[in-house]
């Protein structure tokens, strides 16, 4: 379903040197014997997911699609980026779907929050609150505001039928609230962490509401699971990508830049930045994940990439066939000199921009580039791609001897913020 070319980043000879280590780590992932082993539920999730829960989810999400104009998703980090990235990638940035999905609670921004609340005043909206811990401050504030608005608009009884939650099966303030209010609730399993949860109800509830074929996503992920659960570095593209990253880190390229040529995939880069940044960035180790959208950023960061400090390598997500296209028209005067492109599609121009840039960066700029090619952006491919990256991330972090599934560093700012806000116990 995808093609992964790492040949500009690492040679076959260097890949082969990782063979023993990759075999050991792949076994560790399968046996669940490595650090953070109680968070490996995502590995077999594409076959083990709760089938009954999925059917209930499809019923609830159909109800949302048929009865509301807007679904507001309240969540942050892993409880937000998966759904947001797939929504943008599959629906486009100007979706004309009958149900609009918007996101809140991924920021404390008073401007953004006030704007969303104002927008919702005259809309028939449902709420999907998502939080594994059930205590994340951004999400909790957003949910309190949304619930308050909804209850004022439609009354407590009707609001109760318009609120859907995804949280831990037993713990947390959100779970207590769900039990008390009787909201329809979905479980984020104990053994799956936020940034590995896109294929659970965390991603699937909002995406099914948006009309995405979530069963196809799970099918894609299942295929990826079958394909990448092996240690053969000659054929396993997922692990070849993982070792290329490790090789770059060890050869003075501490920055990985995710590149797309589709603005509607820029949120996939955000998801990737969280996945790899939060999983690997520990104990003063890890690659810094960054991102760019070309050709837009070729007119800004392009100069640095071509000619600046030689710190980075690229991982390019190239989509061969766009879902939409535009043909450049003929103009009889040709004053803009563009008639040489008349009759050509923008997909063709975009591909030529990709090929020209790749050559410029690799050959002149000496920037190593991985190229991941997919034929088409659809739900199944996306499910496959998410799984590919999650497995590659686990392998990459274990190659660095890092626990891929915790995030101790993010607690530090929270403690300071809670102290300043006067929260009890801080």
User: What is the binding site for ligand PA5 (CB under 6 A)?
Assistant: 76-79, 131-133, 136, 139, 193-195, 278, 407
H or E element in which residue 242 lies: helix 237-250
Of 231 and 276, the one with the shorter C-beta distance to ligand PA5 is 276
Catalytic annotation present for 414: yes
**Is 192:45 a contact under the CB 8 Å cutoff?**
yes
Q: Is the CB of 81 or the CB of 101 nearer to ligand PA5? A: 81
Query: Minimum Å distance from CB 230 to ligand PA5?
Result: 27
Q: At what angle do helices 201-209 and 81-91 cross, to 10 degrees?
A: 30
DSSP classification of residue 341: G
CB of 193 to ligand PA5, least distance (A): 5
Edge-to-edge strand ranges of the sheet holding 312-321: 2-5, 369-376, 312-321, 255-260, 288-293
Which residue, judged by CB position, is nearest to ligand PA5 in the bound state? 194
For residue 387, how many other CB atoms are within 10 A of its CB? 28
Catalytic one among 51, 94, 284, 299? 299
- The answer to whether residues 71 and 65 touch, using CB atoms and an 8 Å cutoff, is no
Annotated catalytic residue within 20, 414, 419, 423: 414
Taking the complex as a whole, the smallest distance from the CB of residue 378 to ligand PA5 amounts, in Å, to: 26
Sign of the CA dihedral with 238 first, then 239, 242, and 244 last: negative
List the one residue out of 166, 103, 101 whose CA is nearest residue 130. 166
**Least spacing, CB of residue 135 vs ligand PA5, in Å:** 7
Comparing CB distances to ligand PA5, the nearer of 192 and 210 is 192
HSE on the CB side for 293, CA within 13 Å? 10
Taking the least distance from each CB to ligand PA5, the nearer of 335 and 421 is 421
Residue closer to ligand PA5 (CB basis): 141 or 360:
141
- Minimum Å gap between C-beta 66 and ligand PA5 is 28
Catalytic entry in 278, 280, 314, 361: 278
Active site residues: 278, 299, 414
């Amino acid at each position: 379903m995808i093609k992964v070319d790492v040949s500009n980043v690492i040679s076959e000879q260097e890949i082969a040197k990782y063979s023993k280590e990759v075999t050991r780590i792949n076994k560790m992932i399968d046996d669940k014997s490595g650090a953070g082993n109680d968070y490996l539920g995502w590995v077999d999730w594409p076959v083990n997911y709760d089938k009954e829960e999925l059917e209930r989810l499809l019923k609830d999400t159909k109800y949302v699609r048929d009865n509301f104009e807007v679904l507001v998703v309240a969540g942050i980090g892993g409880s937000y980026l998966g759904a947001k990235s797939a929504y943008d990638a599959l629906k486009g940035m100007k979706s004309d779907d009958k149900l609009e999905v918007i996101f809140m609670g991924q920021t404390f921004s008073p401007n953004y929050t006030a704007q969303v609340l104002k927008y919702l005043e005259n809309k028939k909206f449902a709420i999907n609150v998502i939080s594994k811990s059930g205590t994340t401050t951004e999400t909790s504030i957003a949910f309190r505001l949304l619930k308050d608005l909804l209850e004022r608009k439609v009354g407590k009884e009707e609001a109760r039928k318009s609120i859907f939650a995804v949280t831990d099966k037993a713990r947390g303030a959100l779970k207590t609230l769900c039990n008390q209010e009787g909201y329809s609730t979905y479980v984020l399993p104990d053994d799956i962490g936020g940034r590995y949860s896109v294929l659970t109800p965390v991603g699937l509830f909002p995406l099914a509401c948006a009309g995405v074929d979530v069963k196809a996503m799970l099918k894609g992920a299942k295929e990826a699971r079958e394909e990448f659960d092996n240690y053969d570095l000659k054929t396993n593209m997922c692990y070849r990508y993982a070792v290329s990253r490790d090789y770059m880190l060890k050869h003075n390229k501490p920055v990985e830049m995710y590149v797309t040529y589709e603005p509607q995939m820029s949120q996939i880069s955000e998801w990737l930045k969280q996945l790899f940044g939060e999983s690997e960035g520990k104990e003063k180790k890890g690659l810094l994940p960054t991102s760019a959208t070309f050709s837009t950023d070729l007119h800004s960061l392009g100069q640095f990439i071509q000619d600046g400090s030689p710190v980075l390598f690229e991982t390019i997500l190239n989509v061969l066939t766009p879902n939409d296209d535009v043909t450049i028209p003929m103009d009889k005067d040709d004053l803009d000199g563009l008639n040489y492109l008349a009759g050509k599609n923008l997909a063709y121009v975009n591909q030529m921009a990709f090929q020209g840039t790749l050559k410029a960066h690799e050959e002149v700029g000496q920037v190593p580039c991985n190229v991941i090619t997919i034929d088409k952006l659809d739900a199944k491919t996306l499910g496959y791609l998410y799984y590919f990256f999650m497995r590659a991330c686990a392998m990459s972090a274990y190659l660095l001897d890092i626990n891929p599934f915790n995030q101790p560093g993010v607690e530090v700012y929270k403690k300071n913020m809670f102290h300043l806000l006067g929260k009890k116990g801080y």
